Structure 1
Amino acid sequence: MRHSCTFAALLVASGACPAQTDMNLYGIVDLGLRGTSGLGANNAPTASGHTEAVSSGINQTSRWGLRGREDLGGQWAALLRLEGGINADTGATAKSDRLFDRLAWVGLETPYGTLAAGRQTNLLSDALITVDPLAKRDASFNPNVNIAGLSNTAFGTHAFGRQYGPSGYADNFYRLDNTLKYTLNSGPWLARAAWSFGEVPGDGRAASSHGAALSYQQPDWVVSGAASQFRSRDNLPLDAWTLGAAWRLGGWQFKANTARNHADTGPRQTVRQRVLSAGVSRQAGRDLLVTTAWYRVRREASGWRDDGFDRAFLFIEKTLAPRTTAYVEADYTLWRGDAAGLTATLPNDRHGAGLTLGLMKKF
């Protein structure tokens, strides 16, 4: 025993003791029984009547991941994050071509900010965290995630139809490969800057992305915004920005946001999208939270009729335990112009409604 203590003391004195390391497995499994009218199981407009389904990720996206941090001393630390989406209703990965489709990065935490490299969310997404009226609930159907954050821009009769930035997917630029992101916290200010490399030989701008984000936060209110540019492989630009605010008054919390994006999709071809959103949350009881939100989306595209949609949500969440939440969700969508699209040759219903009874378990 004496020899082991002496050996440990020598390790400490020599600086050879291993640094403190934390590695955590975490995740969310969220499933709900969902009934819809005018919407399919994937929430796309449909010409048929009612649909019943077991749906994954209505409240929070089902996922799993690894989070690591190793203390390097002197307020420096090495960071690791791996995260993949799950379709909990089938057990499949959210993206069949990627195990960690949501996040895959390594970084350094320093007294001068944090620098991370790898697959990460874009800065528009980061800016929306505190000001989206739904707090990014129902991500696959939330217009701030899909249109303002550029997660799923294809709907109705038209889409961007190409990849902007190194996302790996057409019409989805919410997460970007090959990204360097710098984050600095300074008192109430939070600043971010990012560059995503397109890795196109001979052209450093093609398929790249860059931008900046800034937020100012006080105990009862926050203002948050970001601006980014994405470029296609043939150097067509997509410019986007978002700006929002949230404030708390007694037991009420109010949030509002506006966002715009403008893409060149070809010679004299453009797409413009606008999103306005507002919502309010109220702690209705010790363990009961009620959230309502409204979104207005409008789109203008060369050669197409102007379209868009209005969408309203209601969430009622009951906390059953620190990691378990039961909820009821209701939504209503009114499609405008040709946004509802066609199924075969039949026009889809211009109205869509959904009701979900769900359970979310975190680990």
Structure 2
Amino acid sequence: MRHSCALTALLVASGTCPAQTGIDLYGIVDVGLRAAGGLNANNAPTPSGHTIAVNSGIDQTSRWGIKGQESLGGAWRAVFRLEGGINADTGAQAKSDRLFDRLAWAGLDSPYGQLALGRQPNLLSDALITVDPLGKRFASFNPNINVAGLSNTAFGTHAFGRQYGPSGYADNFYRLDNTVKYTANAGPWQARAAYSAGEVAGDSSASSSHGVALAYQQPDWVVSGATSQFRSRDGLPLDAWTLGAAAKAGAWQFKANAARNKADTGPGKTVTQRVLSAGVSRQAARDVLVTTALYSVRREATGFVDDGFDRAFLFVEKMLAPRTTAYAEADVTAWRGDAAGKTASRANDRHGTGLTLGLMQKF
């Protein structure tokens, strides 16, 4: 939506409104009523019983943001984007220590590509946009977001237990501070390269990250992949890659992806994670979309029993209006090894189920 100069000034703390091409306020509010068995309100395993909760971001993550652009002449533009997560069930920020935890960058668009500097998603996340079987739905519970994209590497009885790259958090390296990202398009090809500075005095590699991504897209199919390398503050490496494809055939869409990451977590200690995923979507009616997906996660870690989990999803979405969607979601999880963990010395249930009825509104 286009705002007046006064509103723009309020939103971006600017005293003037000089001939800007545009500044937009946008967002998503997604909230649902969820019933779960073997899972608590945060979708972590529990010993037994059922949970009723109001959850945020089941279909798409609740968020708000400001984006803008200004023409610099010719095909050159200055651009920026600020975006923060919202817990719609409580009204709180998704990250209490950051107003704009999702995106905070400025850059230049030109005929030669886009150069952006600031807090941005890692290249694994970028590569998953077009090939994740769920279309990045249910981000907090989606294994491609959490394990392949490194948003939450902690589950079961252990975790990476440290920060790799300048994410600001242990066990979460999905978005990185201090990132320089370049994106270029040439016909059906899209290439990305990124470097995230660790900003550790005297050691330029500590807490840093770098990587490349490449995608080839045609009207009915796409192949997308990325590889990234991360370093901890004490120089331990984490190497990761992801590769997937998607194809359309009439009302059907098929997606599949494979990903792997391996981290040194200490002297003689490593953690290796693998994710295989596949899914199918079908436009069941003009305003109804049905999506199914299956994820298989396996983990090997020094000193621990091999573990992992299998998780299946079903989403049925009905568009009520251009900006409003009602949805029903169901999921089943089967934990392997000791991945379900324990709660107060009690073994958690080895299976979890969930059912959500929700509403998503965009603005």
TM over 0.5: yes
- 2:272 and 2:47 map into 1 onto residues whose CA distance is 27
> Letter of the aligned partner of 2:262 in structure 1?
H
Q: Secondary structure at the match of 2:258?
A: strand
* Aligned match of 1:9: none
* Residue 307 (structure 1) aligned with residue 295 (structure 2): no
1:18 Cα deviation from its structure 2 partner: 5.4
Give the TM-score normalised by structure 1.
0.95
- 2:189 and 2:19 map into 1 onto residues whose CA distance is 30
> Letter of the aligned partner of 2:171 in structure 1?
D
1:209 Cα deviation from its structure 2 partner: 0.1
- 2:349 and 2:95 map into 1 onto residues whose CA distance is 29
1:48 Cα deviation from its structure 2 partner: 2.8
- 2:18 and 2:83 map into 1 onto residues whose CA distance is 26
Q: Secondary structure at the match of 2:97?
A: coil
* Aligned match of 1:272: 272
Kept in 2: contact 1:328–1:356 (CA 8 A): yes
* Residue 319 (structure 1) aligned with residue 319 (structure 2): yes
* Aligned match of 1:150: 150
- 2:80 and 2:68 map into 1 onto residues whose CA distance is 5
* Aligned match of 1:361: 361
Flag structure 2 segments of 5+ consecutive residues without an equivalent: 1-16
1:353 Cα deviation from its structure 2 partner: 0.2
Kept in 2: contact 1:54–1:89 (CA 8 A): yes
* Aligned match of 1:283: 283
* Aligned match of 1:7: none
- 1:56 and 1:213 map into 2 onto residues whose CA distance is 31
> Letter of the aligned partner of 2:132 in structure 1?
D
In the TM superposition, what are the counterparts of 1:69-88 in structure 2 within 5 Å? 69-88=69-88
- 1:361 and 1:225 map into 2 onto residues whose CA distance is 31
* Aligned match of 1:173: 173
CA-to-partner distance for each residue in 1:295-350, whole Å, 9 max, x for gaps?
00000000000000000000000000000000000000000000000001000000
- 1:315 and 1:51 map into 2 onto residues whose CA distance is 20
Kept in 2: contact 1:247–1:255 (CA 8 A): yes
Kept in 2: contact 1:293–1:313 (CA 8 A): yes
- 1:126 and 1:358 map into 2 onto residues whose CA distance is 26
Kept in 2: contact 1:19–1:72 (CA 8 A): no
* Aligned match of 1:102: 102
In the TM superposition, what are the counterparts of 1:1-12 in structure 2 within 5 Å? none
* Residue 123 (structure 1) aligned with residue 123 (structure 2): yes
Q: Secondary structure at the match of 1:166?
A: coil
- 2:19 and 2:164 map into 1 onto residues whose CA distance is 41
- 1:221 and 1:324 map into 2 onto residues whose CA distance is 28
Q: Secondary structure at the match of 1:204?
A: coil
> Letter of the aligned partner of 1:176 in structure 2?
L
Count of matched residue pairs: 347
- 1:192 and 1:55 map into 2 onto residues whose CA distance is 34
Flag structure 1 segments of 5+ consecutive residues without an equivalent: 1-16
> Letter of the aligned partner of 1:190 in structure 2?
Q
Deviating runs (4+, > 3 A) in structure 1?
Answer: 17-20
1:74 Cα deviation from its structure 2 partner: 1.4
CA-to-partner distance for each residue in 1:264-295, whole Å, 9 max, x for gaps?
00000000000000000000001000000000
* Aligned match of 1:295: 295
* Aligned match of 1:202: 202
Kept in 2: contact 1:19–1:71 (CA 8 A): no
- 2:326 and 2:22 map into 1 onto residues whose CA distance is 30
Kept in 2: contact 1:277–1:295 (CA 8 A): yes
> Letter of the aligned partner of 1:333 in structure 2?
T
Give the TM-score normalised by structure 2.
0.95
Identity of aligned residues (%): 79
* Aligned match of 1:133: 133
CA-to-partner distance for each residue in 1:56-76, whole Å, 9 max, x for gaps?
000000000001011111110
Q: Secondary structure at the match of 1:255?
A: strand
* Aligned match of 2:188: 188
